[in-house]
Structure formats: structure tokens, C-alpha cells
Structure 1
Amino acid sequence: MTLISINVGFPREIIHGGRAVSTGIFKVPVAGPVWLGRLSLVGDGQADLRVHGGADKAVYVYPFEHYAFWAGELGRNDFSHGQFGENFTTEGLLEDEVSIGDVFRIGVARVQVTQPRTPCFKLGIRMGDENFPTRFVTANRTGFYLRVLEEGMVKAGDTIDRVERAIDSMSVCDMFHLRHVGGTRAEYEHAARLPGLSPSWCAAFEKRLTEK
């Protein structure tokens, strides 16, 4: 498993639908080592901190394997690393093989998988297609977020080692399906109690349980 590219970018203001929108989704690759702190990479930022960023979403990971899928689906060949707003473009970390709570070593940093990514309209802006977020959800090729357990320097080319596999957890792929498609009460109860899952996703499943 490999960290192919580190991508960062501060929020910028663009005009969308006749109004100004601030977004940090435009990420570009950087060369050399980058400091990974508890809340973000140096040189990176998010526009709307109510729904982006924070300790449980310090880093967004997207598998490079999906680039070929989307190139075929969209008939495009103009993708660059960071295309989907990801901080880490990786190889060998697919959503059906990575579980909530798994811990990885990247460079000297240690990180933990916290939740899948649910796209907002800004991904559509980045892709130049307002319908793309819906296609992204349907494909369940979401990528996932990391919390930083130990800060440190990371760089493109670093090996990614799984140092702890979460016990009795759920894959990123299954977790996304459970929230956005649905499942049983037992599955909601199980998901809500996973120790590695971000508090916001735990709360969403707890709410489902009160509605059933």
C-alpha cells in the first residue's frame, strides 16, 4: 500500500449559480515532506468547518484505482491527483478492504479510519457536473477520512502499513451502504457502537434507532 500523492489547498471563492461560494475542494499535489498535524496537513484548509475538517476528518483519502473507473464513466482523461478533493491519493486501500477503526502508519504519522465521505454539491463544482455527487454516491467509491493519532512528516511514495486491524468492525463500503441505503436495527446498533467511528456518524445511527 502506497501514498501516491499529497494534495493540499486553502479555500477559494468562486461564482456558482450566480453567487459566491467558498470551497477548499481544489487540491493540488505538493512535493517533498509535509507535516501532518491533528487537524490537517500544513498548507491545507476547509471552507465550511461545520461539515468539513476537524479531528475526525483531518485527512481525506481517495484510492487511485477509482481514477480509471471515473475516466471510463465520464469519458475524460484530464484527471490529476487531488481530482476528487482528496488529501491523500493512495494505492492498495480500497473501501471494501479497509474497516472503520483500522490504524495505519504513514511515514512517521499514525492515523485511524473514521468514516466514509458523503459528497456535497462542491464535488459537482470540482468535476464540472452538478449531477456528479449523485453518481459518486451510487458508485459507492467514496474514499474515507482519517483522524491523526500521532502527528508527523509524510511524503509521496511513503509505504502505508496497517498496524492495527479493527475487530468486529465494518468496511468503509458497508458503512456507507448502511447509512445511505439502509439496513436492519441490529446493523444500526452495531455501527453506532463502533469505537473508531466518528461521533457524527454514530449520532446518525442512534437517531435511526429512535425512529424505528
Structure 2
Amino acid sequence: MKVVSLNIGSKQEVFWKGKAYTTGIFKKSVSGPVFLDKEDVEGDAVIDRKHHGGIEQAVYAYGENHYQYWKDLYPALELNYGFFGENLTLSSLDETTVHVGDIYLLGETILEATKPRQPCVKLGIRFQDAKVIKQFWNTSKSGVYFKIVQTGKVAIEDELKLVEKALNSPSIAEVFNSKK
């Protein structure tokens, strides 16, 4: 798996269905490199610290290979990398082969897979359609949150290399499917 896009967002106020929301889900690709810190990605706005950022969710990765699925469901939307709020868009992410506790080398960093993303109202806001939340749950295309074991910079084209496989640990897809 390689990094095909690095994505950073700023704090934004949006109105949806008569309610105001503050979010950092609107991410844009940057040329990089970017610094992955212990609790977040440098320069990226993390608004809801209960559900995003922090030690166990410092960086969110989503698969480039998943984008076509969503483009087929939402052909009118321009789904650019970062659309799912991911910091890292990876070339061929497969949540069935990434296990909780797997350790990876990426650029100067060492990452540990921790959990899948659980969709929330902000994903509905991004798609301008609340039904996407249920559609997201009905896939195993959750993306992966990572803990930063060693901070450092990552760049486009850096390869995510498995350095230590977690033994007797569920895959990210299994954890995601157990939450349904």
C-alpha cells in the first residue's frame, strides 16, 4: 500500500437540516510531507476529540480502492481524496487483512492499527445525504485509525510496510462488523 494523497482540513461551521455543526471533515489534498504527531496530524483540525484524534485515533486512513464504490452510488458528487475525512488515502487498503495491533512503517513513522472508523452525522453532512451512514455500515470499507508509535513525516508515494503482525487479533473489518 502506498500513500496516494495526504489530506488536511480546517475547522468549518456548516448548517445541515436546520442545525449548526462544527467539523474538520472537509479535507483537501496537500503536497506534503506532513508530520504525524502522537495525537493528530500537524495542521489538521480535529474538532470532536471524543471521537477523533487522540492517542488511539491519531491518523485516519482510507482506501483509494474504495472510492469507485461510492462514486457508483453517488455519481453527482465529486469525490476527491480526503472526502471521507481521511488524512491518508492509501492505494489498496483492505480492512480484512489489517488487524488490530499490526505495526507498520510509513515514511519516518511507525504506526499501529487500532480500530475502524464508525460513521457519524458528519459523513451524512459531507455526502448531503443521511442514508450514506447506513450504506457505510453495510460495507467493510471503514478505513483504519492508527496510533503513532514513532512520530515523523510522511509523504506521497511512501509505502505502508508491515513490520509486525498482531497474533490472535481481529481484523479491522471484523471489529467494524461486530459494531453493527
Give TM-score scaled by structure 2 length. Answer: 0.95
Q: Which structure 1 residue ranges, 4+ long, deviate > 3 Å from structure 2?
A: none
**What letter matches 1:84 in structure 2?**
F
The whole-number CA distance in structure 1 between the counterparts of 2:77 and 2:2 is: 23
The whole-number CA distance in structure 2 between the counterparts of 1:19 and 1:172 is: 32
The whole-number CA distance in structure 2 between the counterparts of 1:28 and 1:103 is: 27
The whole-number CA distance in structure 1 between the counterparts of 2:68 and 2:122 is: 22
Is the 2:5–2:156 Cα contact (8 Å) retained in structure 1? yes
**Following superposition of structure 1 onto structure 2, how do residues 19-58 of structure 1 map, counting pairs within 5 Å?**
19-58=19-58
Structure 2 residue aligned with 1:170: 170
The whole-number CA distance in structure 1 between the counterparts of 2:46 and 2:156 is: 21
Mark the CA change 1:128 to 1:77 in structure 2 (over 3 Å): closer, same or farther.
closer
The whole-number CA distance in structure 2 between the counterparts of 1:62 and 1:32 is: 17
After TM superposition, give the deviation of residue 127 of structure 1 in Å: 1.1
Structure 2 residue aligned with 1:17: 17
Query: Which structure 2 residue ranges, 5 or more long, are not aligned?
Result: none
Larger radius of gyration: 1
**What letter matches 1:7 in structure 2?**
N
Higher helix share: 1
Give TM-score scaled by structure 1 length. Answer: 0.82
Is the 2:140–2:176 Cα contact (8 Å) retained in structure 1? yes
- 130-139 vs 12-21, greater mean Cα deviation: 12-21
The whole-number CA distance in structure 2 between the counterparts of 1:15 and 1:65 is: 30
Structure 2 residue aligned with 1:72: 72
Q: SS where residue 139 of structure 1 aligns?
A: coil
The answer to whether structure 1 residue 62 and structure 2 residue 62 are counterparts is: yes
**What letter matches 2:85 in structure 1?**
G
After TM superposition, give the deviation of residue 76 of structure 1 in Å: 4.1
